[in-house]
Amino acid sequence: MLEVRGINVYYGAIHAVKDVSIEVNEGEIVTLIGANGAGKSTILQTISGLLRPRTGGITFMGENIGVVAPYKIVERGLAQVPEGRRVFLRMTVTENLEMGAYTQKSGGIADDMERAFTLFPRLKERRRQVAGTLSGGEQQMLAMGRALMSRPKLLMLDEPSMGLAPILVEQIFSTIVEMNRDGTTILLVEQNAQMALSVASRAYVLETGRIAMQGDAHELAGNEEVKKAYLGG
Amino acid sequence: MVYGIAKMLNFAHGDVIMVGAYACFFVVTRYELPAVLGVLIAMAVCTLLGVFIERLAYKPLRSAPSLAVLITAIGISYFLQNAAQLLWTSNPKVFRSVVGDASLKLFGGRLSVSVSALVTVAVCIIIMIGLTWFTGKTKMGKAMRACSEDKGAAQLMGINVNATISMTFAIGSALAAIAGVLLCSAYPTLMPTTGSMPGIKAFTAAVFGGIGSIPGAMLGGILLGIIEIFGKAYISTQLSDAIVFVVLIVVLLVKPAGLLGKHVQEKV
Ligand SMILES: Nc1ncnc2c1ncn2[C@@H]1O[C@H](COP(=O)(O)OP(=O)(O)OP(=O)(O)O)[C@@H](O)[C@H]1O
Ligand SMILES: [Mg+2]
């Protein structure tokens, strides 16, 4: 479904992503783990078209999206929940969800919004509230609900557990699994490697811009090196 | 509005106002066509001009430092003034008001209000309501607000940010045409520099009221006008412009977000 082939991404002279290849098949949950500054967010931004690779290619549903404008990539069914949520703080919950549905015909929006509210009942209670007044956890739910409004075939999430209490992290992850069961393919970027490996089928480990390891999520969770580096011994 | 969404100060706005006034001048005063046509043509001309300026000068600078954009805008402003001088000379033109120059006599003639002033107020209120409705209720308007908050996130929603910003300029410029026509209906001397002072004052009003806020701009404009008139009447005619800018500086020092401005923390 998504194929990233040997991309190199630079910030000026900084070589942030080195020769990275990633593949995501339909129906999977794939996770990309790595320490701070490894280049995870850079990779997701490049897939969404906000950054361009200097070399290498990106194919989504058999089409080269390496040169497609970011808004058209969303139209093709590839959405992202960015790092730090980035909900529109001065807009209400409903308006945020409407923005998520920007690429959709107005006919189905009400149903999709109902679906988002079923997934996140908290949002429904607060639908007239301005997003800036939501708690961190509620903002994360809103960011996920908003991304779902574009009916993505592939949803990329950048550190959805960041800054959340353990119980909320559980909830967010079970929602990710639920979204996947409903037919959305997932590419999950995480620092919480333990949680990520427990829900994913395959994983990539990124170290300073390079893929250091990849394979079956269960096997990687049992790998000594991974345990030492990412699972606290 | 343009500042709120594109995060740039369009210093050339006043000169777009001037071009709009000239367009209307030629249609109505020179060729004696109906005033409505003059306004519509002025709006069309300004919309095209605004979009053209945006494409040519500002769009390539979308990711440049804001100072570069500001300097470009000042450059455009001078360019428009000089182009107008070349095309239409610096001789003042006498603009025929599009609403007539009648006055309304109230209280047995003790108070006289010009019709053009009344029309100006009415049009401003209509535009304010219209813009508030547009940005609050339409898909395009909401997308503009989304772009103003976070361009990157807006792109991730599938919003064509470039097109949305161009649209903002188009609307802003069309409204500049109306401003130009109303301005010259009230003060009928039209010169290439006609727009520059009102442009700066309009900007001052917007900052004063809270930049990016539409009712704020209106409130700022009214207060600024009152300050200017009282400054003229009680302090000094020559210093009235200076007084206006002193007020601006004080407001910026005391309440940087403006009177109605919401202070939203910059997130990293
Ligand atoms: N806008 C930028 N300009 C210059 N360098 C950048 C920029 N953004 C990121 N970098 C650098 O690129 C590298 C990768 O950053 P990136 O944000 O992709 O890491 P990450 O894996 O997402 O980290 P984290 O887990 O902290 O979010 C880092 O060394 C970072 O300093
Ligand atoms: Mg990151």
Q: What are the residue boundaries of the structural domains of chain B, listed by start?
A: 2-192, 195-263
A208 touches ligand 1 (CB under 6 Å) = no
Closest approach atom of ligand 1 to CA A34: 21
Tokens representing residue B7 in the block: 């995060």
Q: Is the pLDDT of residue B265 over 50?
A: no
Q: Which residues of A touch B145 (CB under 8 A)?
A: 88, 90-91
- Which pLDDT does position B8 carry in this prediction? 60
pLDDT top residue among A40 and B67: A40
Strands (E) in A12-136, as ranges, are 14-24, 29-34, 55-60, 63-64, 78-81
Task: Yes or no: say if A1 and A26 are a contact pair by the CB < 8 Å rule.
Answer: yes
- Rounded-to-integer distance, Cα B184 and Cα B175, Å: 14
- Which pLDDT does position B182 carry in this prediction? 87
Closest CA to B208 of B236, B233, B227, B193: B227
Q: Is the pLDDT of residue A126 over 80?
A: yes
For residue B158, give the nearest of A71, A90, A132 by CB distance.
A71
For residue B156, give the nearest of A82, A98, A132 by CB distance.
A82
In whole numbers, what is the pLDDT of chain A averaged over residues? Answer: 93
B156: Cβ–Cβ under 8 A, 6 or more apart, which residues? A48, A50, A70, A74, A79, A80, A82, A86, A147
- Where residue B47 falls among pLDDT bands split at 50, 70, 90? very high
- Rounded-to-integer distance, Cα A100 and Cα A91, Å: 12
Quick one: average pLDDT of B43-56?
92
A191 touches ligand 1 (CB under 6 Å) = yes
Phi then psi dihedrals of residue A6, to 5 deg: 50, 50
Q: Where are the alpha helices (DSSP H) in A101-192?
A: 109-119, 121-125, 136-148, 166-181
Closest approach atom of ligand 1 to CA A83: 27
Element (H, E) at B248: helix B240-254
Tokens representing residue A156 in the block: 């990329």
- Where residue A45 falls among pLDDT bands split at 50, 70, 90? very high
CA angle A90, A96, A100 (to 5 degrees): 145
- Which pLDDT does position B5 carry in this prediction? 55
Inter-chain contact A80–B156, Cβ cutoff 8 Å?
Answer: yes
Q: Which residues of A touch B150 (CB under 8 A)?
A: 86, 88
* pLDDT per position as a tens digit, A5-21: 999 999 999 999 999 99
- Which pLDDT does position A61 carry in this prediction? 95
- Which pLDDT does position B1 carry in this prediction? 52
- Where residue B6 falls among pLDDT bands split at 50, 70, 90? low
User: Could you tell me the distance, in angstroms and rounded to a whole number, from the CA of residue A55 to the centre of ligand 2?
Assistant: 21
Q: Whose alpha carbon is nearest atom 5 of ligand 1? A: A11
pLDDT top residue among A168 and B124: A168
| DSSP track, B123-154 | HHHHHHHHHHHHHHHSHHHHHHHHHHH-HHHH
- Which pLDDT does position B216 carry in this prediction? 75
- Where residue B264 falls among pLDDT bands split at 50, 70, 90? very low
In the beta sheet, which residues pair with residue A57? A5
Count of residues in chain B: 268
SS3 A161: coil
Q: Is the dihedral of CA A66, A67, A71, A72 positive or negative?
A: negative
Tokens representing residue B15 in the block: 């000169």
B199: Cβ–Cβ under 8 A, 6 or more apart, which residues? B11, B12, B13, B14, B15, B17, B77
- Where residue B211 falls among pLDDT bands split at 50, 70, 90? low
Q: Is the pLDDT of residue B262 over 90?
A: no
CA angle A58, A215, A170 (to 5 degrees): 90
A11 touches ligand 1 (CB under 6 Å) = yes
Quick one: average pLDDT of B174-203?
83
CA angle B176, B177, B179 (to 5 degrees): 60
pLDDT top residue among B127 and A187: A187
Q: Is the pLDDT of residue B268 over 50?
A: no
Q: Whose alpha carbon is nearest atom 22 of ligand 1? A: A41
- Which pLDDT does position B124 carry in this prediction? 83
A16 touches ligand 1 (CB under 6 Å) = yes
- Where residue B186 falls among pLDDT bands split at 50, 70, 90? confident
Q: Is the pLDDT of residue A41 over 50?
A: yes
Q: Whose alpha carbon is nearest atom 18 of ligand 1? A: A39
Q: Parallel, antiparallel, or unpaired for β A63-64 and A55-60?
A: antiparallel
Preferred mutation among B63, B156, B264 to probe A, highest tally of A CBs within 10 A: B156
Q: Is the pLDDT of residue B201 over 90?
A: no
Q: What percent of chain B has pLDDT over 70?
A: 87
SS3 A62: coil
Task: Yes or no: say if B57 and B76 are a contact pair by the CB < 8 Å rule.
Answer: yes
Q: Is the pLDDT of residue B68 over 90?
A: no
* pLDDT per position as a tens digit, A55-88: 999 999 999 999 999 999 999 999 999 999 999 9
Question: B152: distance to nearest CA of chain A, Å?
Answer: 7
* Gap between the terminal Cα atoms of chain B: 24
pLDDT top residue among A138 and B231: A138
Q: Whose alpha carbon is nearest atom 3 of ligand 1? A: A11
pLDDT top residue among A150 and B218: A150
Task: Yes or no: say if B11 and B76 are a contact pair by the CB < 8 Å rule.
Answer: yes
Tokens representing residue B9 in the block: 């100060």
CA distances from A159 to A67, A82, A148, B34, B219 (A): 26, 8, 16, 62, 43
Closest CA to A146 of A159, A133, A127, A161: A127
* pLDDT per position as a tens digit, B133-155: 998 999 999 999 999 889 999 99
- Which pLDDT does position A232 carry in this prediction? 67
Q: What is Dmax (Cα atoms) for chain A? A: 52
SS3 A130: strand
In whole numbers, what is the pLDDT of chain B averaged over residues? Answer: 81
Inter-chain contact B153–A132, Cβ cutoff 8 Å?
Answer: no
